[in-house]
Structure 1
Amino acid sequence: MIRLQNLTLQRGPQRLLEDAELTLHAGHKAGLIGANGAGKSSLFALMRGELTPDSGDCLLPADWRIAHMRQEIETLERLAVDYVLDGDLRLRQAQSDLAAAELAQDGSAQARFHAELDAADGYTADARARKLLAGLGFTNEQMDRQVGDFSGGWRMRLNLAQALMCPSDLLLLDEPTNHLDLDAILWLEDWLKSYTGTLLLISHDRDFLDAVVDHIAHVEQKKIILYRGGYSAFERARAERLAQQQQAYDKQQVARAHMEKFIARFRAQATKARQAQSRMKALERMEELSAAHVDSPFDFTFRESDKISSPLLDMSDARLGYGERAVLEKVKLQLTPGARIGLLGPNGAGKSTLIKNLAGELEPLSGRLVRGENLIVGYFAQHQLDSLDSKASPLLHLQRIAPTEREQTLRDFLGGFDFRGPRLDEPVLNFSGGEKARLALALIAWGKPNLLLLDEPTNHLDLEMRLALTMALQEFSGAVLVVSHDRHLLKSTTDDFLLVADGLVQTFDGDLEDYARWLVDYRLRNAPVNNTPVNPDKTDKKAQRQQAAALRQQLAPHKREADKLERDLGTLHEKLSTVEAGLADSTNYDAANKDKLRDLLADQAKLKIREAELEETWMEALELLELLESMQAELEALSS
């Protein structure tokens, strides 16, 4: 197990932890959350032995193998697949020893090192590394390219693959989803669910945390508080604790008033049952849990546009791409005020290409694109963070686009994005990625846009800022088109989805669970097939067997998840039976037992709500499992 006892940790003049306590048992999967600068990454460095406690103890089993996701890459000349294989140090040592024995023509040593290589699964290592890379979005051609050929985000994917390649008892992952698209995140979720070691995960993606972890370790006020369950359970528990404070309660009421307005708007527009249900649940959960975020430093809105056009933008029969190469064909899209659209699609299918054309960074190769007379676009993309003036402060950035506005008004506005005090006047040169993203969003919000085009806006943002952005988007009266791997943001702020795939942009009639199922089918349909002409029938059957095997591996975590949900539902039914037995006892209706009766009724209501949630989740899990099993059966029948 991991044990932190009376732990005090300091970096320079800043004390991060003081007399902190934490116990994690082997096999636990815990999300480590807390404000930026709270000490999460320093805690990882402590567990890797790179830091020592200022006082207290950090105790880990001496024989544990620790794997972690590195934040930098130095060996740019290595091939991508070799770089991933380098994560398995035992494998590399066995390969090196065997090569030396072969060079020395030492038969006895060769036999011994062949056995060690076999024990390290060395003969399947290359295939396993390529499978990891494929899951994270790399093509076969990219796997054999040099590391230096890739951009920073793709290098982070290589670091993640290297960490997953390393056999480990403890896996430390620091923001693994920051540079992943939704497809890769769904794949990583399944991989981590089947991971048998102890996992400690820093993430700002609440849906990812809910899917993967069974505990939340919250770093707050130099202490670590451990909560059971995922992020949603943490929010409930923390909300209950904070709601006991009058100040927290008062602020919660204000937030609830806002949320009631949003729920009413979505209710009125709910034309698609499944999407409406998903969206309503997300909003109701946010309303219920708002007290968990009463101490958020963020509070902002997108300023309303003075004029508006309808439609804001109209594209028809458009051909989109670069130079002579078309990425999307026959695109038809009209955006009107109030539209809320999420873009879905595999990596590289053209989502960013579409947004760049709508934003005016690219022009259609052919077709028609008409912009409304009063159209004002607020466009957010990652490359815009690099276009900020590194020598200018947040205040100066805003003063440049609002030269006649009172300085105090600008300071107050930036305060909603947590730029306060000296930070307001500091140059952005040394700002973190999250701070630059907040500043870019602040500049967009000030500009009174009536169309927001957001390409992965939550990269680098912490959980509190993501929640503030979600609430600001819900209040925004213009149109929103967003690409995001943050499923909570998509569920909470979009009414409709467009699917970008196979060179087309089409309406997607379903929710994100339907999209996850669509992705499974898409990957199977687009799996590479060996076209060796020697024996086509044999080759086809081999490819089908490989696809069936790949699908079988995907089935395991889904089966475990369905079984766990069924067990949880059984446990809940037992609790509900006990409560209802108490309600059936006539003595509990006596005046002397009114407090007990009230508690029983409250417990019954909570359990009924949880029962409905669990049953729906369980049924969805069973539907997905049945779909995968039927697909596997078809493939196995074809390959036999």
Structure 2
Amino acid sequence: MIKVENLSFSFPQKELYSNISFTLEEGQHCAFIGTSGSGKSTLIDILMDPERYLFEGKLEIEPGFTIGHVSQFSQVDNSRPMTVFEYIGEEFIQVQDEITAIYAEMATSSDLDALMEKSQSALDAFEAMDGDNYENTINKQLNLANLIKLRDADVSALSGGEFKLVQVMKQMLLRPDLLIMDEPDVFLDFENLNALKKLINAHKGMLLVVTHNRYLLNHCFNKIIHLENTELQEFDGRYIDYNFYLLQTKIELQEITVAEAEEIARYDGIIDNLREIATYNSEASRGRALKARVRFQERLEARRIKEPFVDIKQPNIRLGMDEAPEETVLVNVEDYSVSFDELLLEHVTFEIKSTDKIALIGPNGTGKTTLLRDIFRGTHPAIQVSDEARPAYLSQLQGETLQDSNTILNEFIDAGFKTYDEIRAHLLQYGFEGEILEQKIQSLSGGEKNMLQLAKAAGSGANLLLLDEPTSHLDLYSQIALDQAIQDYKGAILMISHDFYSVVNGMDYVLIIDNKTVRKMSMRKFRQMIYNRHFDRGYLEAEQNKKAVELKVELALKDKNFELAKKWVDELEQLIKQL
């Protein structure tokens, strides 16, 4: 077990945690959520290496407790060629080779006692890893992730998504007491994301997973840790139940807030009357009455419930283009092909009209990003870009569009903004304010960098947005805000995304990569295809009903009709039980 009690920690420019407490216990699969920049990755670093940090509070980790880690930024080491099987089994093979070497040394050495002790230690380590079964276990994991065909492939030949799954398998098979994974879902295509879901759900050990992925959150975890505004709360149960609990709490808090606002307004009127009387009546008793009422008013204000987890402020993302343009063709792709070591795409033909919102869907490593870049650059002979097109590009490689050495302010001056006041007003909508504007971009989290890319695209006046995994690293609240901004945008969008929710919430249709080319698919068929492959029958209908009732709750809350909101919440609870 890991136990954290009243932990506080700050950087010179920012307080991260204020007296936070939580526990992680055997068998728990815990999702770690919170807005971008709230300190999730730093807390992971503290858990893994507490000696590096000067924090207040207690961190209790049992002696000998082992922690594995899957980083969000790890890359293949091309200097060490090995197969996928050798990479996953590397630790097992090393211990096995060590045992073999010790036995060989025993045959010639006179110091057998020391070697016996050494061999027993190695054998104990091998047994703790279940080393006798490691080959069978690796094959089972590869089968579970549908990657058995890559067993003997070179690791360097894997796509980014495939390598991430292989990393997850490698760490899981070492059986640490706690496995921490920092956004393992980033850039995974839907097939690989589903494989990650299976690996997580089959894992018997303790997990702590930083994720903003709505698919994983809804299907993988039995505990939630939520970090927000220096505070933390933990919830034993599914994410869908946690969201329901937050909605219930939101109704209660808003009902109390309305009642308190009415009480405060009544006391404001009394205080105003007492002040008016005090201007022409200077009796001491009048002054004491006024002071007493003011103090009571201050106590009312102080006890207003502040709940950082219930009503988190979403960024106000606006992508521009508030008025629909005349329908014209902005991009025409005719018989496009691309290859690197092998042919990725051929005979690709489609067009983008001025109001089209199109999702480009396909497995990792099939040329989607290259196609998007070629459209943005406008130099490929198979791609004709209209003179009327004003494209903006959001890259999954954030260094393509952001200069790490720039401050946020300087980045937007370089982008053509005229004044600091103009930049500050623009960035405020995206959650950037105060001292953070003077920070260098390299110090920002992945989610914050993606928000900056969105802010730059919105400020460019683009009528064609080329978005490569725009929801990657974004927290849940920013994803929902982006979904709405995409729906409101009147221009054209071509978006690469493996976020099922973003695709179905905002796109008109899908271009799906199939047999090295693309074919058009309606949103209805795409949605049905995903649900048929990955969900039980009836799940689609149940989830759609759930969303419809959630909308009714929100509308009732806007009207301050709390009794109606509670009625819909009761209905929502029954629907959630079906999921």
Aligned counterpart for 2:197 among listed residues 165, 186, 189 = 189
**Aligned twin of 1:201:** 209
Residue 301 of structure 1: CA displacement?
0.4
Aligned counterpart for 2:446 among listed residues 433, 450, 462 = 433
Check whether the contact 1:378–1:444 (CA below 8 A) recurs between aligned residues.
yes
Q: Assess, with a 3 A threshold, how the Cα gap between structure 1 residues 241 and 496 changes in structure 2: closer, same or farther.
A: same
Q: Assess, with a 3 A threshold, how the Cα gap between structure 1 residues 489 and 172 changes in structure 2: closer, same or farther.
A: same
Q: Assess, with a 3 A threshold, how the Cα gap between structure 1 residues 292 and 240 changes in structure 2: closer, same or farther.
A: farther
Q: Secondary structure of 1:489's match?
A: helix
Check whether the contact 2:389–2:464 (CA below 8 A) recurs between aligned residues.
yes
Q: Quick check: 152-161 or 167-176, which moved more?
A: 152-161
**Aligned twin of 2:99:** 97
Residues 297-321 of structure 1: per-residue CA shift (max 9 Å, x gap): 6223012278845233354651321
Check whether the contact 2:68–2:178 (CA below 8 A) recurs between aligned residues.
yes
Please, which runs of 5 or more residues in structure 2 have no aligned partner? Answer: 259-307, 543-561
How much is the aligned-residue C-alpha RMSD, in angstroms?
4.3
Residue 35 of structure 1: CA displacement?
3.3
Residue 427 of structure 1: CA displacement?
4.1
Query: Aligned partners of 1:244 and 1:195: how far apart in 2?
Result: 38
Q: Assess, with a 3 A threshold, how the Cα gap between structure 1 residues 77 and 329 changes in structure 2: closer, same or farther.
A: closer
Query: Aligned partners of 1:26 and 1:111: how far apart in 2?
Result: 30
Q: Secondary structure of 1:460's match?
A: coil
Residues 152-176 of structure 1: per-residue CA shift (max 9 Å, x gap): 8877565434322321332211111
Aligned counterpart for 1:444 among listed residues 429, 454, 457 = 457
Query: Does residue 1:379 correspond to 2:388, yes or no?
Result: no
TM-score by length of 2: 0.71
**Aligned twin of 2:346:** 329
Check whether the contact 1:21–1:223 (CA below 8 A) recurs between aligned residues.
no
Q: Which amino acid aligns with 1:163?
A: Q
Query: Aligned partners of 1:381 and 1:134: how far apart in 2?
Result: 32
Q: Assess, with a 3 A threshold, how the Cα gap between structure 1 residues 452 and 38 changes in structure 2: closer, same or farther.
A: closer
Q: Assess, with a 3 A threshold, how the Cα gap between structure 1 residues 602 and 407 changes in structure 2: closer, same or farther.
A: closer
Q: Assess, with a 3 A threshold, how the Cα gap between structure 1 residues 319 and 211 changes in structure 2: closer, same or farther.
A: same
Query: Aligned partners of 1:324 and 1:311: how far apart in 2?
Result: 36
Q: Assess, with a 3 A threshold, how the Cα gap between structure 1 residues 116 and 21 changes in structure 2: closer, same or farther.
A: closer
Q: Which amino acid aligns with 1:214?
A: N
Identity of aligned residues (%): 23
Residue 504 of structure 1: CA displacement?
2.1
Residues 82-106 of structure 1: per-residue CA shift (max 9 Å, x gap): 4432455xx6434411232145449
Residues 551-588 of structure 1: per-residue CA shift (max 9 Å, x gap): xxxxxxx8xx99xx9xx9xxxxxxxxxxxxxxxxxxxx
Q: Which amino acid aligns with 2:344?
A: V
Query: Aligned partners of 1:116 and 1:390: how far apart in 2?
Result: 43
Query: Does residue 1:31 correspond to 2:31, yes or no?
Result: yes
Check whether the contact 1:182–1:484 (CA below 8 A) recurs between aligned residues.
no
Q: Which amino acid aligns with 1:100?
A: I
Check whether the contact 1:357–1:364 (CA below 8 A) recurs between aligned residues.
no
Query: Does residue 1:40 correspond to 2:40, yes or no?
Result: yes
Query: Aligned partners of 2:516 and 2:179: how far apart in 1?
Result: 38
Note the 1:544-563 alignment, pairs <5 A.
none
Decide which structure has the larger Cα Rg and report it: 2
Aligned counterpart for 1:515 among listed residues 530, 534, 539 = 530
Query: Aligned partners of 2:143 and 2:455: how far apart in 1?
Result: 37
Q: Assess, with a 3 A threshold, how the Cα gap between structure 1 residues 142 and 126 changes in structure 2: closer, same or farther.
A: closer
**Aligned twin of 2:363:** 346
Aligned counterpart for 1:125 among listed residues 127, 134, 138 = 134
TM-score by length of 1: 0.65
Residues 338-391 of structure 1: per-residue CA shift (max 9 Å, x gap): 3332222222233224323433456255xxx44344222222122353343344
**Aligned twin of 1:77:** 79
Q: Secondary structure of 2:50's match?
A: coil
Note the 1:256-271 alignment, pairs <5 A.
none
Residues 585-622 of structure 1: per-residue CA shift (max 9 Å, x gap): xxxxxxxxxxxxx99x987754544444554x5xxxxx
**Aligned twin of 1:237:** 245
Q: Assess, with a 3 A threshold, how the Cα gap between structure 1 residues 163 and 249 changes in structure 2: closer, same or farther.
A: farther
Note the 1:345-494 alignment, pairs <5 A.
345-360=362-377, 363=380, 369-383=383-397, 385-402=399-416, 405-494=418-507
Q: Quick check: 8-17 or 182-191, which moved more?
A: 8-17
Q: Which amino acid aligns with 1:93?
A: V
Check whether the contact 1:69–1:159 (CA below 8 A) recurs between aligned residues.
yes
Q: Assess, with a 3 A threshold, how the Cα gap between structure 1 residues 61 and 115 changes in structure 2: closer, same or farther.
A: closer
Please, which runs of 5 or more residues in structure 1 have no aligned partner? Answer: 251-290, 521-557, 569-597, 618-640
**Aligned twin of 1:20:** 20
Check whether the contact 2:398–2:449 (CA below 8 A) recurs between aligned residues.
no
How many pairs does the alignment contain? 495
Q: Assess, with a 3 A threshold, how the Cα gap between structure 1 residues 446 and 12 changes in structure 2: closer, same or farther.
A: closer
Structure with higher RCO (Cα < 8 A, 6+ apart): 2
Check whether the contact 1:390–1:427 (CA below 8 A) recurs between aligned residues.
yes
Query: Aligned partners of 2:340 and 2:29: how far apart in 1?
Result: 47
Check whether the contact 1:455–1:482 (CA below 8 A) recurs between aligned residues.
yes
Aligned counterpart for 1:304 among listed residues 321, 328, 331 = 321
Check whether the contact 1:297–1:416 (CA below 8 A) recurs between aligned residues.
no
Residues 183-242 of structure 1: per-residue CA shift (max 9 Å, x gap): 221100011011122221111212221211122111234332112444444334334434
Check whether the contact 2:40–2:227 (CA below 8 A) recurs between aligned residues.
yes
Q: Assess, with a 3 A threshold, how the Cα gap between structure 1 residues 428 and 48 changes in structure 2: closer, same or farther.
A: closer
Q: Secondary structure of 1:471's match?
A: helix
Note the 1:531-550 alignment, pairs <5 A.
none
Query: Aligned partners of 1:95 and 1:359: how far apart in 2?
Result: 52
Q: Which amino acid aligns with 1:30?
A: C
Q: Assess, with a 3 A threshold, how the Cα gap between structure 1 residues 244 and 40 changes in structure 2: closer, same or farther.
A: same
Query: Aligned partners of 1:248 and 1:445: how far apart in 2?
Result: 38
Note the 1:96-245 alignment, pairs <5 A.
96-102=98-104, 104-105=106-107, 120-122=129-131, 125-126=134-135, 128-129=137-138, 145=154, 159-244=167-252
Check whether the contact 2:331–2:351 (CA below 8 A) recurs between aligned residues.
yes
Q: Assess, with a 3 A threshold, how the Cα gap between structure 1 residues 175 and 314 changes in structure 2: closer, same or farther.
A: closer
Residues 55-75 of structure 1: per-residue CA shift (max 9 Å, x gap): 443334556543222465796
Query: Aligned partners of 1:360 and 1:76: how far apart in 2?
Result: 30
Query: Aligned partners of 1:66 and 1:318: how far apart in 2?
Result: 51
Check whether the contact 1:242–1:292 (CA below 8 A) recurs between aligned residues.
no
Query: Aligned partners of 1:125 and 1:327: how far apart in 2?
Result: 35
